[in-house]
Structure 1
């Protein structure tokens, strides 16, 4: 050995390839490639790569720090170019949407079906609305007829139709109603089928009511009134009384109350006026007067006389009597007597036969007078037969 030659250094052993700089750089590039294909897997590869960069290559600390930062940047670039960042942001919403779409069919069987609304048809509108609100409905109403009238007093309307519905948060029900006494139309918004007034004149009250209710008129809407001003209906006992006038007239629509003017069968329907005869002016018509409307006065000596047919006087024993019969008391003055007289025969002073108003007579055109002296004439009455009435 040459003593003057420098000593030779021993050759360092070769490093494994995974500890070389090219291997470290390749690992960083691999992180970027994996991140471009699958970001979560690329993120795990980044963590492994950073650990290996700080362990394997013989680099200084700042080189290792720079390589670690560079690996992170390359991972982000690779993931962005591969679209993994956008996909990652959408993964959860897509999953939720998929689960929602999958869960919808499962949820539908558990949803409770909508309950059928109670039937309020035929009830008063205010009562129906109160019950519907109590059942949880939001209510509305309108006129069921084609007239589109405003509903003010709901207690006077009846429900004809109802329509139930619901929105996102409420259950709704709408009522179509008509006024009490009216007939419901065939469908909501159609014309009301009003009944037509029949001819009722001459019929009894009982028959008239049956006829009207038979065509759909409410019995409470049928009103009775006395035909004559000075006559009154008996309380609830006028079934046999007859109709003289009617409102509405025959053939007109019955859109409201029906008014029938009645008269007693003995009185008949007169065309001469609106008053019945009341000869003694006691406030009762002739047919209801038990005294037959004869004028009554009080005579002397406690006797009753009516319509005296003569006169008497007593002066110096003489007397004069013009009556045909004597009734009542007598008086004596100077031997003479006088008595009252009465006339109850079939004639009075040449004025014709005695006539009783409303009774049958013949022939038509005949004249007569009542016991009170009222002229009468024989003519057709309301029933077509000849009866006595005022001349």
Structure 2
């Protein structure tokens, strides 16, 4: 050999390359799903090619051989090629043996027409298995107008079945498990449509969604203010008449499929809040105006306001007030809301005494006295 010869060795033909052989093994799985006999013959060809063509080590060839065999079995099994499609002849064989043993020449009786169970609403794989046990050859197709191929039969539900007694065959029309059945075979899927719930309280909106047939598990909640966290479904239901729907997605009459997420953007207020309407856009305003970094608290003015609409020393609940500053009473207040005069007193709707003092954030808030 010439040590100075740098010419690379010639590459093998494409049919001897590893990608070509792996493609042949994948062809075994594909054809086995369509026809078991055809997949079997291709598997034999793939085994021969693995042992003859490539320069693999023996254990790699052995692994590819077993891989081709298992690919054929798995693919044929998933597509139903290995199911026993023939009628059960054990009962007829037992009857023939009994007649032959007795030697009787009884007159033949007409055979009873086979009966097929109604599998509407059942899983497609269960329906096909039962049909074969009854002596019928099953067929399958998409019940919707989309004409989709059916792969994993356990993931489909029977909507319609049509049996041909003379031919002993039955056709199953099915949809995916999370889909509604159409009104007629080959018709559109009757997905629910989104009602208009903007402006409704949370409790009213939930009832409207339920009446429309929308799965409430697909509903997500968000807030519309910059300073308020989104409530959970349990929290919103607990105060369902205080939370109101400001925005919704999808819009009214929008189709809600099994993959659609329904969004409800909520605002919260009571009669005691200063802001009692939805903003023009989401995440543009503050529920409590004093939380706005640009908010002017007006420390040099006698008309300071808290978020309950009370003014410095004034009363919103009919209580009396004085002008002596720290000891003034402002009547009914909301716990945790901002206040302007440290030391001012008030009461909640339940009658709990409150005092204006620094909160955990350093700003004056109504706290229990």
Q: Please classify the TM superposition score into its range, dividing by the shorter chain length.
A: 0.3 to 0.5
Over alpha carbons, which structure has the higher Rg?
1
Normalised by the size of structure 1, how large is the TM-score? 0.40
Normalised by the size of structure 2, how large is the TM-score? 0.42
